[in-house]
Amino acid sequence: MSKNSSSTSQGSLTCGLDHAAKENVPTTIVVFGASGDLAKKKTFPALFHLFQRGLLPKRLRIIGYARTHMSPEEFHKRATSHFNADISQDQIKSFLQHCCYVSGKYDISDDFKKLRKEIESQEQALECSQSSNRIRVYYMALPPSVFVDVATQIKHNVYDSDCINRVVIEKPFGHDLESSRKLSNDIGALFTESEIFRIDHYLGKEMVKNIVTLRFANVFYEAVWNRHYIANVQITFKEPFGTEGRGGYFDEFGIIRDVMQNHLLQVLSIVAMNQPNSLSAEDVRDRKTEVLRRILPIQLEDTLLGQYVANADGTKPGYKDDDTVPKDSITPTFAQCVLHVDNDRWRGVPWVIKAGKALNEAKMLIRIQYKDMPNSLFPNLARNELVIQVSPKESMYIKTIVKEPGLSTNLAMSELDLTYKTRYHDVKIPDAYATLILDVLNGDHSNFVRSDELDEAWRIFTPLLHQIEQEHIVPTPYAYGSRGPEGAYQWTEDRVGYKRT
């Protein structure tokens, strides 16, 4: 593989998942923000998951970096604090042999020079310091306010043009179109697009990754995947907890920036895209970007906003009861919008994207509702639906009308059901972060957001976000643990003609 190159995704399927591991490419992974929440909950557990399965190269160093002073023991304790309880101490010990910690600030050159020395001495120990076949991954598990500082320091004090360098950036990528462009320009001035991996962890989820296969490997799905057969599509994200502990971050962003502009729009673009020319990262991302280009900016009148309040018995707090949230906050914690993809495949089909915190359940699903059966033998038929549940229960089912079993001639709604836990009970579905880190090691960009996709995503949402803020639009209250603002379901039915099945 050439330096800083980008391979194909299903590259990973056909060439094997463990390209970097098989080739035993000497690899250093630096986790910036190693003292933080994401690092302990997601990044280190994902690295361990890969390590345990032999999917990381043997010649591996993982270096945590953050401002907090931690002894090696304290770092080890924090890094492993979210590992599954059933993992043996021996396995953890063997993983930790590859890990160390460097403390430093995010804007001090000398601290980054110290980091470079650490990397170089580790590379010497791995006997690869002169080789160009080395990978350095810089993973920014950091607040966006320090992305550019850290990227600048990496480029000036750590980057080694003689090896492969990859920079992983967490969302949020900007606040609106303008700030996102500035961030892209600032980071783009330091690293090439092929060196940058913008994570949207929804792209690493099993059922999201499955959409391309489902659509383009099965003749009967693709044949009816268009406006002639599909009446409406809903992409829904529901969480049963509020912003507890993250109010400070959340209030600046709100649910539209936190979940819709990225996760839900990414999913939409995969569901809506035309078949790519190949499974290469660029071909797939070209097709996704084409879809985004055909979506007009979302209008306020096509949007419903909500904010949760305490539940009736007061056992669950309201959004503004959080000390880190201003008492007069109008930040939405719930939103649903209707949008349209104006191309030949989708013209006239409404898409509803909906996301909310502190709702009645945890669920992320894609619901594709088919049109009424034309010229049916049977009166008043319910509509077919294909439902893909991304989480918590990976599954897909097709709501199908059958004859009621037995002597009856009545019709009944049933499901053709593929629930992963039942069908693939021996397979442990990896966390999205494990999948994506593996992609980074393999240089596969397919499941990462390209800068033009990002630009389009902000173009779609920025006018709405600005209008909400400038006109001080007050969200409708809904109780913690409810199904959202009253009338939200009826709103969808009225606006897009969704028919309950």
Question: What distance in Å separates the CA atoms of residue 76 and residue 92, rounded to the nearest whole number?
Answer: 9
C-beta neighbour count of 447 within 10 angstroms? 28
In the list 152, 234, 391, 446, the residue contacting ligand BG6 (rule: CB under 6 A) is: 391
CB of residue 204 to ligand NDP, shortest distance in Å: 12
- For ligand BG6, the closer of residues 152 and 336 by Cβ is 336
Q: Select the span of 15-23, 56-64, 137-145, 374-382 touching ligand NDP (CB under 6 A).
A: 137-145
Tokens linked to 423: 């069908």
Select from 195, 149, 145 the least CA-distant residue to 451.
195
Contact between 146 and ligand NDP by CB under 6 A: the answer reads yes
356 three-state secondary structure: strand
Print burial letters for 60-70: b (CB count within 10 Å at least 16), e (below 16): bbbbbbbeeeb
In the list 61, 171, 287, 367, the residue contacting ligand NDP (rule: CB under 6 A) is: 171
CB of residue 283 to ligand BG6, shortest distance in Å: 26
Contact between 144 and ligand NDP by CB under 6 A: the answer reads yes
Question: What distance in Å separates the CA atoms of residue 251 and residue 329, rounded to the nearest whole number?
Answer: 7
Contact 237, 263 (CB under 8 A): yes
Question: What distance in Å separates the CA atoms of residue 380 and residue 486, rounded to the nearest whole number?
Answer: 28
CB of residue 485 to ligand BG6, shortest distance in Å: 19
- For ligand BG6, the closer of residues 238 and 445 by Cβ is 238
Among ligand BG6, ligand NDP, none, partner that 261 touches (CB below 5 to 8 angstroms by kind): none
Query: What residues contact 233, with CB distance under 8 A and at least 6 apart?
Result: 268, 271, 349, 350, 351, 352, 366, 367, 368, 369
Question: To 10 degrees, the CA torsion angle through 481, 484, 486, 487?
Answer: -140
In the list 52, 68, 210, 360, the residue contacting ligand NDP (rule: CB under 6 A) is: 68
Contact between 141 and ligand NDP by CB under 6 A: the answer reads yes
Question: What distance in Å separates the CA atoms of residue 96 and residue 61, rounded to the nearest whole number?
Answer: 10
In the list 18, 123, 170, 251, the residue contacting ligand NDP (rule: CB under 6 A) is: 170
Contact between 41 and ligand NDP by CB under 6 A: the answer reads yes
**Known active-site residue 263:** yes
DSSP string for 96-127: HTTEEEEE--SS-HHHHHHHHHHHHHHHHHTT
Q: Select the span of 36-44, 116-124, 175-183, 467-475 touching ligand NDP (CB under 6 A).
A: 36-44
Residue whose CB is nearest to ligand BG6 in the complex, by number: 258
Contact between 108 and ligand NDP by CB under 6 A: the answer reads no
The CB-side HSE value for 213 (13 A sphere, CA atoms) comes to: 8
Q: One of 263, 340, 445, 466 is an active-site residue; which one? A: 263
The size of the interface with ligand NDP (CB under 6 A), counted in residues, is 20
- For ligand NDP, the closer of residues 36 and 477 by Cβ is 36
Contact between 67 and ligand NDP by CB under 6 A: the answer reads yes
Residue reference for tokens 């003749």 = 219
Which residues are marked as active site? 263
Chain residues binding ligand BG6 by CB under 6 A are: 201, 239, 258-259, 364, 391
Chain residues binding ligand NDP by CB under 6 A are: 33, 35-39, 41, 66-68, 106, 141-146, 170-172
